Amino acid sequence: MVDVTSLQPAAPMIGRLVVVGLGLIGGSFAKGLRDSGLCREVVGVDLDPQSRKLAVELGVVDRCEDDLAIACQGADVIQLAVPILAMEKLLARLATMDLGQAILTDVGSAKGNVVRAATEAFGAMPARFVPGHPIAGSEQSGVEASNAELFRRHKVILTPLDQTEPAALAVVDRLWRELGADVEHMQVERHDEVLAATSHLPHLLAFGLVDSLAKRNENLEIFRYAAGGFRDFTRIAGSDPVMWHDIFLANREAVLRTLDTFRSDLDALRDAVDAGDGHQLLGVFTRARVAREHFSKILARRAYVDAMNSNDLIFLAQPGGSLSGRIRVPGDKSISHRSIMLGSLAEGVTEVEGFLEGEDALATLQAFRDMGVVIEGPHHGRVTIHGVGLHGLKPAPGPIYLGNSGTSMRLLSGLLAAQDFDSTLTGDASLSKRPMNRVANPLREMGAVIETAAEGRPPMTIRGGHKLKGLTYTMPMASAQVKSCLLLAGLYAEGKTTVTEPAPTRDHTERMLRGFGCPVTVNGATASVESGSKLTATHIEVPGDISSSAFFLVAASIAEGSELVLEHVGINPTRTGVIDILRLMGADITLENQREVGGEPVADLRVRAAKLKGIEIPEALVPLAIDEFPVLFVAAACAEGRTVLTGAEELRVKESDRIQVM
């Protein structure tokens, strides 16, 4: 029996490892662990005498046996790496032996049939059997292709059952991790469904397509002119047909369910081609392209890169001289968020220029794609949104992941509270610490049903099918996100929704709603909206982001001899606190070419170097510069005298504790 509590890194982890089946996977597993020194002895078992001979000569194993019973005597771990349809007979033989406290595991690509076979052979699923599946391979095969590095940076899925011994699971998990694998645990049924969709179905399609084309009379002409796309798609049709025959028979139930779903989607695609439905085709192709890029990024960050190490980096900064010239900063993030949201809910096609291609705004864009909205781009800041109307959103296929974007989560919660379907909003570790009751509580007063984690933090689950009623709400704190959330919910609520803020906050939502044809009443600190209006598609030109401009305003102010022009910057009066504060400190900033674009005031900002002085920042300006204080404190550090900031508690609950940073 292996005592995992007393493992010593320098000593072998287990005594005897037995690998049954010395093909590519079994041989690579054996060689990797033999090379690692984690096993005192590695014993191979294979029906082929030549494979047994090569395994010893190539250093894959210490010795080989042709008798399974002899090989398994005194074994600590037995790895079953035989073809999947041979597993039943192998397990039946093992069930007749005295295996002692040996841990059993396997590498089959379908787990349900392995569990069923083991249960039938042993009378019950052995507690020390840990089903497993390495998602790795090579176009080479046989023991001579054994590669100790084969599993590095590849996923291995273990599918323990309720009765699986934790100690046995820990040993198998450790062995795979020592080979460099990214190990995950999953339920048996879930594994088979996932692999049916991501591995088994693609192979079935590739085999089927190549076979279909090969049977045609003109097959020579077809294959002669096949381009790279055909070769890429059908490469896996060159896989071992016997192995895949076994896999499809072993996992046929999950494959059939996945195939039926795909066939239904394929029929819908055929109907779209037949009807000349370009909108439907564009939606499918756009979603597919974006989904592939999205998941490729996820995979690139996880299983296919080396583990990140925390290292201290030292940056040496030297004076860079003066700044001069004319620049245009990226588009405003707040307006980019709202352009996607309202464009998706509008009727018709909305064109957006200057969209900020940052992670937060892209999280909003992906969320609406997940809910069935066709969105083209972004490409060089240009986005085309095919709106579905206020009631055209569809349930997302799963939880909506919003990264670190609090704006996305809070504004979306208002929209989703009025839908007919349930939604779950999740985010990264940072967003999961942010308070969401500030939107959840007033939405509940409107009739929404919302569940959150402890202390009102994400994830948020919003139940669909609940009618909202208008609300008169006085916000306890100044927050454009809370105000916008409630106004968006008010588009669906019965009656009027009125929000009063204690201090001015950005009013992009009110301005953009008007731009989409929805009447919004603003009276001082109070904004109101009523349901019954529709949103009409429009053209949006996103101005430069004033938060991004702030870095250049400060840099040019403190670098002697600088004169810089920032073109087409949004100067919404609810966002210009950074300009007002810098001017109070003595900055030389002038606004030129002032104009209004799409309901938003914009201007070119000219900034010249100036001697700055410390000030007590007026609390009335704090909400108007809440996102710019980190860089404002750089200016304060370069100013003469003391700068004092009060009334900025909101900075502690941003994506980081900005006060601590400052």
- Token pair, residue 354, equals 């200057």
Task: Choose among 531, 403, 411, 385: nearest CA to 468.
Answer: 531
Residue 314 β-bridge partners:
none
* Consecutive H or E run containing 300: helix 278-301
Contact 133, 159 (CB under 8 A): yes
Task: Choose among 31, 54, 46, 43: nearest CA to 77.
Answer: 43
Would you say how long the chain is, in residues?
A: 662
| Helix 333-345 vs helix 406-416: crossing angle, to nearest 10 | 20
Separation CA 449–CA 462 (nearest Å): 6
Torsion of CA 647, 650, 656, 657, to 10 degrees: 40
Question: Where does 112-227 have alpha helices with state H?
Answer: 112-122, 166-178, 188-195, 201-214, 219-224
Torsion of CA 210, 213, 219, 221, to 10 degrees: -90
In terms of Cβ atoms closer than 10 Å to its own Cβ (0-12, 13-18, 19+), residue 104 is: buried
Could you tell me what percentage of the chain is helix, strand and coil, using 3-state DSSP and rounding each to the nearest 5? 45, 20, 35
Separation CA 585–CA 629 (nearest Å): 14
Other Cβ atoms within 10 Å of 314 Cβ, number:
4
| Helix 278-301 vs helix 252-275: crossing angle, to nearest 10 | 140
Strand bridging mode 347-353 / 539-541: parallel
Question: Where does 480-573 have alpha helices with state H?
Answer: 480-490, 508-515, 546-558
Separation CA 139–CA 145 (nearest Å): 9
Could you confirm whether 192 is annotated as catalytic? no
- Token pair, residue 496, equals 């009027």
Other Cβ atoms within 10 Å of 284 Cβ, number:
15
Separation CA 570–CA 600 (nearest Å): 7
Residue of 46, 182, 627, 657 with catalytic role: 627
* Consecutive H or E run containing 19: strand 14-20
**Which residues participate in catalysis according to the annotation?**
627
